[in-house]
Chain A
Amino acid sequence: MSLTRKDVENIAHLARLAITEAETPVYVDSLSKILSFVEQLNTADTKQVEPMAHPLKDQVQRLRADQVADVDQHHKYQRNAARVEAGLYLVPKVIE
């Protein structure tokens, strides 16, 4: 599997990652190598095999009652935010 520069730029865009001009060829090379490496998976016969999403058998995602279970601590949590005003996270203007 060989990726082009355009492929990598598109993947970086989908992943919301700014990568530099200098980094791009490095990722073209290493991502192509990784995708070629994982092509070994094609040697396994997986026709009758159920995909496995969880490592333990018969585990189900637990549900809980839809009740308030935590106290409001947004002031504590927002101390880690770059920009906050009146309890709101600030980002550049989205709607003109």
Chain B
Amino acid sequence: MTDFHHQTLAELSAGLKARRFSSVELTRHFLARIERLNGELNALITVTGEQALAAAARADQQLAAGNAGPLTGLPIVHKDIFCTDGVLTTCGSRMLSNFVAPYDATVVERLSQAGVIMLGKANMDEFAMGSSNETSWYGPVKNPWNLKKVPGGSSGGSAAAVAARIAPAATGTDTGGSIRQPAALTSLTGLKPTYGRVSRYGMIAFASSLDQAGTLTLSAQDSAMLLGAMAGFDPRDSTSVDAPVPDYLATLDQPLAGLKIGLLKEFFDQGLDEANGKLVRDALKVYETLGAKLVEVSLPNLPLSVPTYYVVAPAECSSNLSRFDGVRFGHRCENPHDLLDLYKRSRGEGFGAEVKRRIMTGTYVLSAGYYDAYYLRAQKVRRLITDDFAQAFQSVDVLMGPTSPTPAFDIGAKVDDPITMYLNDIYTIGANLAGLPAMSIPCGLLDGLPVGLQIIGPHFSEGRLLSVAHGYQRETQWHRQIPQGYE
């Protein structure tokens, strides 16, 4: 039996290059694991086996001809929020349960040009609105560390797929923590780049000033490999930043001696499970032994992140999701008696409860008479939070703290109380509001469930963040832990 699924992208890439195995063999191996294990996990909505094998055969030709890149022939899964030409793209919603995307998202196009093979499309919270992957029209995703627990969300299918080793890596998106929180809950390396670093073109919009695409992988090195291919200017995204993409692999081994780490006081104060906090502090000690200096920093406005987010994100969502009108694409109700009925019933039937709740919250905070009290005020507090981060980065290189207040919780435990669910994102939302790059890396297990360490850096510091994560992963083995039953 081969152990392809124990290997990182970097290791698999070396094996392909040395012709120890072919991309077709590799792809078959993961497709067989998907076939065997996806039923219990519900991690993938669509499996694109035939296309994957055809792409793998092409990759093998390139490898044989000697014109392959580092990613040629490596299989991954894409979160089902990315449009994929000719392939069902549901965004986890009944609204798009019949939507075959007519083009590729830039992320998909760039990875495919780099030779990456798509195994399938990953389950997710409906329209990326959720922190537990329970709002999906396609049903909840199970956490491979314990099938009774949530994998986190909204990129829960991506996380479960990589954690269970049915795919060696996955794309995800992060609007309020949707890459980092599931990465923490499933023992993966999750990276949310700087806002504007990766194109949003073809990525179904939730909250446009917050959405950013990133990766869920087994190591920081793998994140660096994928980000290098995904990032960069795209004229088709009006907020894409026109700045060169550094060689993230070249700077991975930067020494950590003298690194100034700011410990986020508010994160350790606020609602943090004690045992969870201890594992995070243990990880910080590893950084100290590597020569980093720890200082406590306070971001006084940070506790207002969650309320700020739950005004800004629903407002943008209500506007973005107005495009689903039952006319041009998406679900359409039966026998509408007039246009208003067509809109209302198509949307009422097509959207699930949480999506409707956020659309209505957004509609309310943007409505006449309430705009100043809610939306404008939230935009002002957003600036206060962003300024707090900027000030902290004058004295420290990176900020660290927990990714999530607790390890994975039971499926069903928080579905009836939106506020309790929203508070799962208490540590991750700040980076989205300020547009900062941030990562979560595995730093231990609590009663058999993974815990994540969060690292936040200044704008466009992905290279530094990846090296900080890589430095820890050279000293520790948490990122190589495999959940029982998926070895």
CB distance from A87 to the nearest CB of B (A): 13
B353, CB-defined interface residue at 8 Å: yes
Is B386 in contact with A51, judged by CB distance below 8 angstroms?
Answer: no
Q: Which residues of B contact A68 (CB under 8 A)?
A: none
Q: Mark A31-72, 1 if CB is under 8 A from B, else 0.
A: 101110111111110100111111110010110100000000
A86, CB-defined interface residue at 8 Å: no
Per the 8 Å Cβ criterion, residues 62-91 of A in contact with B are: 62, 64, 73, 76-83, 89, 91
A16 to B340, CA, bound (A): 8
CB distance from A1 to the nearest CB of B (A): 10
**Contact A46-B209, Cβ < 8 Å, known A11-B364, A30-B418:** no
Q: Which residues of A contact B340 (CB under 8 A)?
A: 16
B246, CB-defined interface residue at 8 Å: no
Q: Mark B58-85, 1 if CB is under 8 A from A, else 0.
A: 0000000000000000000000000000
CB distance from B139 to the nearest CB of A (A): 20
**Contact A55-B342, Cβ < 8 Å, known A11-B360, A27-B357, A38-B311:** no
**Contact A92-B360, Cβ < 8 Å, known A51-B376, A51-B383, A53-B379:** no
CB distance from B89 to the nearest CB of A (A): 10
Is B377 in contact with A42, judged by CB distance below 8 angstroms?
Answer: yes
Q: Mark B377-389, 1 if CB is under 8 A from A, else 0.
A: 1111111101000
CB distance from B22 to the nearest CB of A (A): 34
Is B100 in contact with A80, judged by CB distance below 8 angstroms?
Answer: yes
Main secondary structure on chain B at its contact with chain A?
A: helix
CB distance from B33 to the nearest CB of A (A): 32
**Contact A59-B343, Cβ < 8 Å, known A11-B363, A41-B307, A51-B383:** no
A46 to B378, CA, bound (A): 9
A64 to B336, CA, bound (A): 40
CB distance from B435 to the nearest CB of A (A): 3
**Contact A51-B349, Cβ < 8 Å, known A27-B360, A79-B102:** no
Interface size range on B against A: 35 or more
A23, CB-defined interface residue at 8 Å: yes
A52 to B209, CA, bound (A): 10
Q: Which residues of B contact A14 (CB under 8 A)?
A: 363, 367
Partner pick for A34 among B195, B329, B349, B418, CB 8 A cutoff:
B418
Is B329 in contact with A81, judged by CB distance below 8 angstroms?
Answer: yes
B99, CB-defined interface residue at 8 Å: yes
Partner pick for A81 among B209, B301, B327, B343, CB 8 A cutoff:
B327
B351, CB-defined interface residue at 8 Å: yes
A11 to B386, CA, bound (A): 31
Q: Which residues of A contact B448 (CB under 8 A)?
A: none
Is B380 in contact with A51, judged by CB distance below 8 angstroms?
Answer: yes
Q: Which residues of A contact B100 (CB under 8 A)?
A: 79-80
- What residue of chain B has the Cβ atom nearest to residue A19's Cβ? B348
Q: Which residues of B contact A12 (CB under 8 A)?
A: 360
Is B241 in contact with A59, judged by CB distance below 8 angstroms?
Answer: yes
**Contact A55-B386, Cβ < 8 Å, known A17-B359, A80-B102:** yes
Q: Which residues of A contact B301 (CB under 8 A)?
A: 44
A38 to B418, CA, bound (A): 13
Is B418 in contact with A55, judged by CB distance below 8 angstroms?
Answer: no
Is A11 in contact with B367, judged by CB distance below 8 angstroms?
Answer: yes
Is A40 in contact with B196, judged by CB distance below 8 angstroms?
Answer: no
Is B344 in contact with A55, judged by CB distance below 8 angstroms?
Answer: no
Is B374 in contact with A38, judged by CB distance below 8 angstroms?
Answer: yes
Is A91 in contact with B304, judged by CB distance below 8 angstroms?
Answer: no
Q: Which residues of B contact A13 (CB under 8 A)?
A: 344
A92 to B419, CA, bound (A): 40
Q: Which residues of A contact B342 (CB under 8 A)?
A: 91-92
Q: Which residues of B contact A18 (CB under 8 A)?
A: 344-345, 347-349
Is A37 in contact with B307, judged by CB distance below 8 angstroms?
Answer: yes
Q: Mark B157-194, 1 if CB is under 8 A from A, else 0.
A: 00000000000000000000000000000000000001
CB distance from A71 to the nearest CB of B (A): 12
Q: Which residues of A contact B434 (CB under 8 A)?
A: 55
Known contacts A64-B235, A76-B102, A81-B327; 14 additional CB pairs below 8 A are A16-B340, A17-B344, A30-B357, A31-B361, A38-B310, A46-B384, A54-B239, A56-B435, A73-B102, A80-B328, A82-B326, A92-B338, A92-B342, A94-B339
Between A and B, 21 residue pairs with Cβ closer than 8 Å are A11-B363, A15-B359, A15-B360, A16-B343, A18-B344, A19-B348, A38-B374, A41-B311, A44-B384, A49-B383, A52-B382, A54-B209, A56-B195, A56-B435, A61-B238, A62-B238, A64-B235, A79-B100, A80-B98, A80-B328, A80-B330
A: residues with CB less than 8 A from B are 8, 11-20, 23, 26-27, 30-31, 33-35, 37-44, 46, 49-56, 59, 61-62, 64, 73, 76-83, 89, 91-94
B: residues with CB less than 8 A from A are 98-100, 102, 194-196, 209-210, 235, 238-239, 241, 301, 304, 306-308, 310-311, 318, 322, 325-330, 332, 336-345, 347-349, 351, 353, 356-357, 359-361, 363-364, 367, 374, 376-384, 386, 418-419, 422, 432-435, 459
8 closest A-B pairs by beta carbon, nearest first, are: A55-B435, A18-B348, A51-B379, A82-B332, A80-B329, A46-B380, A52-B383, A18-B344
